[in-house]
Amino acid sequence: MLDVTAEERDFYGGHLILLEGVILEFLSCVAMIRRYQVGRGRTDPITSSHARIKSADSMRRKLRLRGFPATAENALREMRDAAGVRLICPFIDDIYRTAALIREIPGIQICREKDYIHTPKPNGYRSYHLVLTLPLRFLPSQPAAPVWLEVQIRTIAMDCWANIEHQLKYKRDIPDQKLIVRELKRCADEIVSTDLSLQTIRDLLESAG
């Protein structure tokens, strides 16, 4: 079950079922992909998944920042991240394997892909992003406008760093902000170095086996 507060229910109103629907449809597809991969004797490329509906406060701020009235209609029409899913993978290669499997889902439409692993953000953030939509089977007819879903695919280490960085960046009036930013970037670089080493170890074990 998604953690949706009364504030989100009030803000999104009747559109909430569409946001929940696109998340559940996608997660259902992902679950079957994982089972099929394991059934074919391959490793599961995903260790866990997390889903969320963007909070009403965050969505209102984002809409106003972009110059749009803070309405649920604009949240679905103008934004692409009202609904979000995060997929956590054991190894870097699994991220790209997962992205490739997602592209093969019947009826899926991908609006945007961004590879922040090969091209990290300046602060060191790494992840693979897709914005997509897919058919909502519970509806007798599809919505006139797509219901977009933002998917982020990360390794366990990347996800740990992103969660910590997300908490720290909202703290204000901290002395030595530049030092903190520099240390976070250093940690991000060390984490990706560890991810690459683990990938190398797995590749060696698989080639030896």
The pLDDT of residue 137 is: 85
Give the model confidence (pLDDT) of 17-45 as tens digits: 999 999 999 999 999 999 999 999 999 99
Give the model confidence (pLDDT) of 176-206 as tens digits: 778 888 888 999 999 999 999 999 999 999 8
**For residue 15, how many other CB atoms are within 10 A of its CB?**
17
- pLDDT classification of 173: cutoffs 50, 70, 90: low
Structural domain that includes position 45: 6-208
Contact 114, 108 (CB under 8 A): no
Q: How many structural domains compose the chain?
A: 1
> Order of strands across the sheet with 48-53?
48-53, 83-89, 149-155, 128-133, 109-115
* Residue 128 maps to a domain: yes
* Residue 25 maps to a domain: yes
**Residues 6 or more apart in contact with residue 118 via CB below 8 angstroms:** none
* Residue 40 maps to a domain: yes
The pLDDT of residue 116 is: 97
Q: How far apart are CA 31 and CA 203, in angstroms?
A: 25
> Any idea what the CATH number is for the domain that residue 191 is in?
3.30.460.10
Partners of 89 in beta bridges: 155
Give the model confidence (pLDDT) of 54-80 as tens digits: 999 999 999 999 999 999 999 999 999
The predicted model gives 82-98 an average pLDDT of 97
* Residue 1 maps to a domain: no
Task: Say if residue 128's pLDDT is above 80.
Answer: yes
Q: How far apart are CA 180 and CA 178, in angstroms?
A: 5
* Residue 100 maps to a domain: yes
